[in-house]
Every structure is written in C-alpha cells, then in structure tokens.
Amino acid sequence: MQPLVQFRDVTLGYDRHPAVHHLNGEVAPGALLAVVGPNGAGKSTLFRGLVGILKPLSGSVLTGGIDPKDIAYLPQTADIDRSFPISVFDFVGTGLWRQTGFFGGIGKGAREKIGRALGSVGLSGFENRGIGTLSGGQMQRVLFARVLLQDARLIVLDEPFNAIDAKTSADLLALVRQWHAEGRTVLAALHDMELVRAHFPETLLLARGKVAWGATSEVLTADNLAEARRMCEAFDDHAVACVAEEDSSKAA
Ligand SMILES: Nc1ncnc2c1ncn2[C@@H]1O[C@H](COP(=O)(O)OP(=O)(O)OP(=O)(O)O)[C@@H](O)[C@H]1O
C-alpha cells in the first residue's frame, strides 16, 4: 500500500537550529499513530513540518496525493490567541474556509454543519460566546468541532487531551476512534502513555530524532523511554544544521 506520508531524511528547526533531526519513516493510510517523547522532543515541530507551516531545513515531507484542504490540524491551545474577538460559531466556521474560500459567505447548509459539529462535541448553545470566555476543556471541544467540520483525510492533533478532565478526554477520544474507524489517518502528540498503550496501535517515539517507530507495545519499552530522555538531555539546542545541510543549502 502506498504511504500517505513520507518523512525523507527530514530536518526541521528554527533559525537554522535543528529541532527534529534526520527523520525517516512512513505513515500508512488509515493509521492511528501516537507521537510521544519528552518535553522539547520535537513533536510540535514535526507536526508544523507535516502540515506545511514550517519548511524543512533539509530533506522532505511528502504527502503524496493529499490536497492541503484534506489536512486538519489541531494546534496546542497555547498556540492560539484567545484574546482575538471571535465567536465560537465563527471560529468553528473557519473549518470551512478551504471549502468556501476566505470571503465565501456562510449559507444555510454551512450553518447547519457548524451547528451539528458543535452538537457532536456537546457545545450546542455556545454559538455566540467569545472564544476568550471558554474554559480550557470547552476550547478543546471547539477545536475538535472545527476539525470535524474540515472532514479531512489526514488529521494531526497536537496534545489534544492536555489539561482537560476525564469526561472531556473520553468524549474527544471517542471522536478520534470514530475518525480512525472511518478510515481517516490520525496522528496525535501525546504524553499519557497509558492512553497510548490502550488506544493507539502504532507509536513514534521521538527525541529530536527517531528512537523507535512501530507497534506501540514494542516501542514503549523502559529501555526506549530511557534512551529518549537521554537523547533529549544530550541534544544541543544551539547546534547549527549539519555540514552536509549547510553545503546543500549553499549550492541551492
Ligand atoms: N517557534 C519556535 N522558535 C524557536 N524554537 C522553537 C520554536 N518552537 C519550538 N522551538 C524549540 O524546538 C525544540 C522542540 O520543541 P517542540 O515544541 O517541537 O517540542 P515538543 O516535543 O512538542 O515539546 P512539548 O512536549 O514540551 O510540547 C525545543 O528546543 C523548542 O525550544
């Protein structure tokens, strides 16, 4: 089966300082993949590279055949400016931008879709609330409603269950399982190893580079987790891109 995503010796970083180093690997269509690793391991950076927000310093991320509108991305809530004055309804409606266009009006059909998405995450009646007035768990539900609306083939979730209560986690996890059952490809950055072991068949353990990638039970061993911690601690944040990368960028 043709992979949906291919990481080809990809290095991603900021101001030419690599954060994810020389990653190789493939994601099959329909995969339910957890991306785990210590704080600063590069999970968010990898996702920014995957969804096209961050251009690789070297190597490539191939999402063969997927149109950008077929990728839904749920960033960490910390990355969202909640002081922006926008209602829950309009925020969730931005999930339709790629279908309607930036200036496309929201017609009756779209209004119904937004209403249904909010109902699916238990937020009917919240339409007119400003996003800045929501609790952390409610905001996370709003982000899931926006992903629902995007109806995407590839769904990328950055720490979707962080700092939310058990009921909200369970409700949102049910949506993830539904997306997987529908044949969508789902990648999620997670810290809760028990949740990963229970619900995610495949795991990438990242520590700036790949420590292990495969069946979750084989990846999440004590030895691999210790190796990931060691690699993260040893990584030099101020290192510049490799000499080979420097040379190729000069030649480009
Ligand atoms: N916008 C940025 N500008 C510069 N450096 C960044 C930026 N975002 C992340 N980094 C750095 O890149 C490295 C990887 O960070 P990243 O956020 O990808 O890790 P993470 O695995 O998602 O961490 P966490 O589990 O804490 O969310 C860290 O050293 C971080 O300081």
Shortest-distance atom of ligand 1 to CA 14:
4
Q: What is the pLDDT of residue 141?
A: 94
| Residue closest to 56 by CA, chosen among 5, 96, 98, 13 | 13
In which residue are the tokens 């077929």 written? 70
Q: What is the pLDDT of residue 59?
A: 97
Q: What is the CATH number of the domain that holds 39?
A: 3.40.50.300
Q: What is the pLDDT of residue 236?
A: 73
Residue 177 resides in a domain: no
Query: Exposure pattern of 205-217 as b/e (b: 16+ CB <10 Å)?
Result: bbbbbbbbbeebe
Which residues constitute the domain of residue 46? 1-66+154-165+185-222+232-252
Residue 172 resides in a domain: no
Rounded mean pLDDT of 57-74? 90
CA angle 49, 53, 55 (to 5 degrees): 55
DSSP reduced 3-state for 58: strand
Residue 146 resides in a domain: no
Which pLDDT band, with edges at 50, 70 and 90, does 243 fall under? Answer: very low
Residue whose CA is closest, atom 26 of ligand 1?
39
Residue 83 resides in a domain: no
pLDDT at 221 over 90: yes
pLDDT at 165 over 70: yes
Residue whose CA is closest, atom 6 of ligand 1?
14
CA atoms within 13 A on the CB side of 76: 13
Q: What is the pLDDT of residue 248?
A: 46
Sign of CA dihedral 71, 76, 78, 82: positive
Residues with Cβ within 8 Å of 157's Cβ and at least 6 positions away in sequence, in order, are: 74, 147, 176, 186, 187, 188, 189
Rounded mean pLDDT of 90-95? 92
ipTM of the prediction greater than 0.95, yes or no: yes
pLDDT at 251 over 50: no
Mutate to test the pocket of ligand 1, among 12, 20, 43, 53 (most ligand atoms within 8 A of CB): 43
CA of 106 to the centre of ligand 1 (A): 36
Mutate to test the pocket of ligand 1, among 11, 20, 43, 45 (most ligand atoms within 8 A of CB): 45
Q: What is the pLDDT of residue 216?
A: 98
Which pLDDT band, with edges at 50, 70 and 90, does 240 fall under? Answer: low
Residue 110 resides in a domain: no
Residue 116 resides in a domain: no
Total tally of structural domains belonging to the chain: 1
CA distances from 57 to 88, 122, 124, 247 (A): 36, 41, 43, 12
Rounded mean pLDDT of 22-35? 97
